[in-house]
Amino acid sequence: MGEMITLTAADGHEFAAYKVASNEAPKGCVVIVQEIFGVNSHIKDVCDGYAKAGFNAIAPALYDRISPDIELDYTPKDVEQGLQYKNQVSDETALKDIDAAANEIDASGNAAVIGYCWGGTLAYLSACRLSSIGKAVGYYGGQVAQNIAETPKAPVMLHFGDKDASIPMSAVEEVKAARPDIPVFVYSAGHGFNCDQRGSYDAEAAKLALERTLEFIS
Instruction: Give the residue numbers marked as catalytic.
Output: 117, 164, 191
Three-class DSSP category at 32: strand
Q: Taking a C-beta distance cutoff of 8 angstroms, is the pair 41, 121 a contact?
A: no
* CB-based burial, 37-66: b 16+ in 10 Å, e otherwise: bbbbebbbebbbebbebebbbbbbbbbbbe
CA torsion, ordered 143, 148, 153, 155, to nearest 10 deg = 80
CA dist list (Å): 174 to 13, 58, 127, 189: 36, 31, 18, 19
Q: Cα(47)–Cα(56) distance, rounded to whole angstroms?
A: 8
Q: Cα(112)–Cα(66) distance, rounded to whole angstroms?
A: 26
